[in-house]
A and B are shown apart, each in its own frame.
Chain A
Amino acid sequence: MTLNVGPQHPGSGHMRIIVQIDGDHIVACDPDPGYVHRGEEKMAEYRNYITNIPHLERPVIHDSCNILYPYVLGVEELLGIETPERAKYVRVIASELNRCIYTMYWLAIYGIFLGHSTMFMWPAGDRELLIDLMEKMTGARVTHAHFVPGGVRNDLPPNFEDVCLRQVNYFEKRIKEYADIFYDNPILISRTRDTGVLSRQDAIRLGTTGSVLRASGVDYDVRKKEPYDVYDELDVNTNVMKEGDSYARSRVPWLDMMESCNIIRSALEKMPSSGSVRVKLKPNPKGGHDTVYKRVESGRGSLGCYIVSDGKPEPYRVKMSVGSFRNLIALPYLLKGEKLGNMPAVYWSLNYWPVEADR
């Protein structure tokens, strides 16, 4: 029997998985993304470097700082802009907050995919703490458009450091409680343990990235391997698990959130207390004949941006290489031979965001 899981299905997201089942076993699986393709890359060729900012963050509105990060870094290199030190720290704080906001949303959906409605509501509620922080910082709850070439749009509001520290500490205390209801839950462990096992070799061969790669035992994090902005001055620990099953893939982002809290705390400590956060740009800046490729670690893994400039105010080409699409490739390999009941547990553990994959 062929099941069309999606695009209108409570367990799919904005995509379709064509599943061939024999009894309760999945014989073959064919992910069919592309339902939310918006042509962001083509749109970027008609706008100049600054007006590209608000629409390029649309694919992942929960993680909008991280998806803009490589573009902004690339444009800075193209235009030869030196970013102020304080702006770099503000960017790091904003991107770590955004990573937590995205991961909480992902975790909420993972909870409801496994039929755990409390795990849907708790992260969705606790996420508000960080959204409030981002609102204080940028003025918007999502789609912040905060990063600009040469710094960030606005300086931090007064007293932000204290509020941020307090909220992040409370947030960390809250997410530690998730272990009791979710991660140590015997039913959850028996459902996700040893399902959809991705071995270390397969994870590298299929080109997965981010938490999926780290859950398969590969210690790879762009923040650590190719530090950008001020990540080399901060102490970044990566969380690696050897199992490579759905449980490890669901646990690694949770551990990453605690690591993000540590990074935010140390960034708040080391951040220069005053100074400029933005370099004044010429109106309609032009780059030379040049190409640049920058990448950062987003909530879904390595996120690269390749910009080609031909001397005009608009980029000649903007290409985003996103983690979601790279992780989706592993799905047919993981679902083959699994039971139908494991489909949501494996599918969403891949840390996949359909809109980002389609762009």
Chain B
Amino acid sequence: MSVIAPDFRLSSFIRSIFDNAFWALLLANLAGIPAIMMVLFYIEMPVIDGELLTPFLAFSWLADPSRTLPIVHAFMATDLFRVVAFPGFGFAALIAAATIFVERKMLAKLQLRVGPFYCGKIEGILQLMGDGLKLISKEIIIPAKADKPIFWVAPVIFVATAAAFVALIPVAPGWVVADVDLGLIAVFAVIGFFPIITILSAWSANSKFPFIGGIRALFQMVSFEIPLILSLLGVVILTGTLNLSEIAASQSSFPWIVFLPIGAIVFFTTMLAELERIPFDLPEAESEIVAGWLTEFSGMMYGLVQLGTYLKLYAFAALFVVLFLGGWHGPMVVPPFPEEILLDGIVMGPVTAKIPGLPLFTQEMINGTFWFVLKTVGVIFFILLPRGVFPRIRIDMLLNLGWSKLIGLAFVNIFIALGLLYAGVLGPGGMLPQ
């Protein structure tokens, strides 16, 4: 009897069906239904047909497609959905995962290679999943002399800080996790937290190469934070607000990159340095200091740091889009939701289904998200591109660039913004509309 293709037996086939059904039911009862119930307890129930729903009633309504949507609507209005799914972590992690895949494939094409190919049927699309499984299944090795609590907690704080950064980004009008009035200051505060994590993890590893890498990262991030902050002041001067949503909303007629190109260039350069991407990847320069401050991380700790890095990459690209490229603004390309479905319902032959709660998302929201994602992906592409073209630069050249050239350019940018403001061209009461 062949091992590879055993003979077909009806009894074992039926038994396998029952097995699978048993496990599916068990998991749904033990994990699925409690999870849904927890969410239903958490969200505020809508009033439907003059009746305030209880979580138990809402659970029974979930079985009816025509009554599901209002509950989903109510769920989407909660903070939980915003943090976990749409403008928050899930959305950002999805873009980060896509970024890793695109980076590998794009770099491979640039270098006359194929890139990920075998994992997944199409062009190695499941390579990231395979890598994630590999990292999870690997042993986590902690250096014997490491300061263990800090070493353990550093990757987790890194991801958490990156996620906090993501939470500040407005994706579409009204779609932001934390709509802070001093949003830009909050961004600076979060960015200022990264060097601390880096030096903590590098120092706690108690090893030479991570230590040198951590010191390099500290130098690099601290000296590039100043031009980073200065390059954004131009936008703040012209808009008169620190709220990121309002800054994005102020660019309905033109993006700020038109008037502040120098600021955009300075911000983009400092962004590359803050992200430790080539040509500024000195903290991870493998031919000098192995992997810099990441040297001693193994297994999923390394995976967490990578996740945090790519979340940070998405957040920086999104910040560039919000500040300089007009955020969610763009021509309306999404067609409006068909009126007749709202009025008459969906006609399916003899049956007409009237579904309350449609449309799920407004036209502006879908359009805004589309333009936002398009611009962010474009910026990410330009962040990835230097990796295939440039070698790494040296720490003294980097500090020279940061302290003398970029700070000077950032001040030029501020003077341009002030000039535009006092000449009455832009800003509150300016000639050009905002």
Contacts and interface: CB of A to CB of B under 8 A. Distances in A.
Contacts of A122: 111-112
Contact of A3 (B110, B208, B392): B208
Contact of B111 (A117, A191, A343): A117
Interface string B196-215: 00000000000011001000
Interface string B136-180: 000000000000000000000000000000000000000000000
A149 to B, nearest CB: 40
A113 B287 contact: yes
Interface in B95-111: 107, 110-111
Interface stretch (A48-56, A65-73, A86-94, A180-188): A180-188
Given A185-B390, A191-B397, A341-B288, A115 B110 contact: no
A118 B389 contact: yes
Interface in B195-253: 208-209, 212
A283 interface: no
A112 to B, nearest CB: 7
Given A117-B107, A117-B388, A187 B279 contact: yes
B208 A190 contact: no
**Is chain B's interface secondary structure helix, strand, loop, or mixed overall?**
helix
Contacts of A190: 393, 397
Centre residue among B110, B279, B287, B390 by max chain A CB count within 10 A: B287
B393 A187 contact: yes
Nearest to A24: B395
Interface residues of A, number: 31
Interface string A101-131: 0000000000111111111111001000000
Nearest to B291: A10
Given A117-B111, A191-B394, A181 B288 contact: no
Report the interface size class on chain B: 20 to 34
Contact of B281 (A24, A115, A340): A115
B290 A10 contact: yes
Contacts, number: 83
B387 interface: yes
Contacts of A3: 208-209
Nearest to A111: B391
A181 B391 CA distance: 10
A164 B250 CA distance: 64
A9 interface: yes
Interface in B397-431: 397
Contacts of A187: 279, 390-393
Interface in B108-129: 110-113
Contact of B113 (A119, A121, A191, A339): A121
A294 to B, nearest CB: 36
A1 B208 contact: yes
Nearest to B113: A121
Given A115-B281, A115-B287, A117-B107, A125 B392 contact: no
A276 to B, nearest CB: 41
A298 to B, nearest CB: 25
Contacts of B113: 121, 125
B287 A10 contact: yes
Contacts of B388: 117-118
Contacts of B394: 191, 339, 341-342
Interface in A134-176: none
B108 to A, nearest CB: 8
Nearest to A181: B389
Interface string A1-42: 101000001110000000000001000000000000000000
B416 to A, nearest CB: 26
A90 B112 CA distance: 32
A159 to B, nearest CB: 27
Contacts of B387: 117
A125 B112 contact: yes
B392 A114 contact: yes
A243 B394 CA distance: 21
Nearest to B394: A341
Contacts of A121: 111-113
B40 interface: no
A340 to B, nearest CB: 6
A117 B287 CA distance: 12
A337 interface: no
A119 B107 CA distance: 12
Contacts of B208: 1, 3
A185 B391 contact: yes
B282 interface: yes
B391 A343 contact: no
A344 interface: yes
Contact of A116 (B286, B288, B391): B391
Contacts of A191: 391-394, 397
Contact of B391 (A125, A188, A342): A188
Contacts of A343: 288
Given A1-B208, A121-B111, A121-B113, A344 B288 contact: yes
B396 interface: yes
B107 A116 contact: no
B264 interface: no
Contacts of B278: 115, 117
Nearest to B289: A340
Nearest to A19: B288
A11 B390 contact: no
B111 A115 contact: no
Centre residue among A1, A191, A341 by max chain B CB count within 10 A: A341
A340 B392 contact: no
Interface string A331-348: 000000001111110000
B285 A341 contact: yes
B395 A341 contact: yes
Given A9-B290, A10-B286, A115 B397 contact: no
Interface string B273-316: 00000110110011111100000000000000000000000000
A114 B392 CA distance: 6
Contacts of A344: 287-288
Contacts of B285: 115, 341
A341 B397 CA distance: 11
Nearest to B392: A115
Contacts of A181: 389
Interface in B369-402: 387-397
Contacts of A341: 282, 285, 288, 394-396
8 contacts: A114-B391, A115-B279, A116-B390, A125-B113, A187-B279, A190-B397, A191-B391, A341-B282
The 6 closest A-B pairs by CB, nearest first: A115-B392, A11-B287, A121-B111, A116-B391, A114-B391, A344-B287
Given A117-B111, A344-B287, 13 more contacts: A1-B208, A10-B286, A10-B287, A11-B286, A114-B392, A115-B281, A117-B278, A121-B113, A125-B111, A125-B113, A181-B389, A340-B212, A340-B289
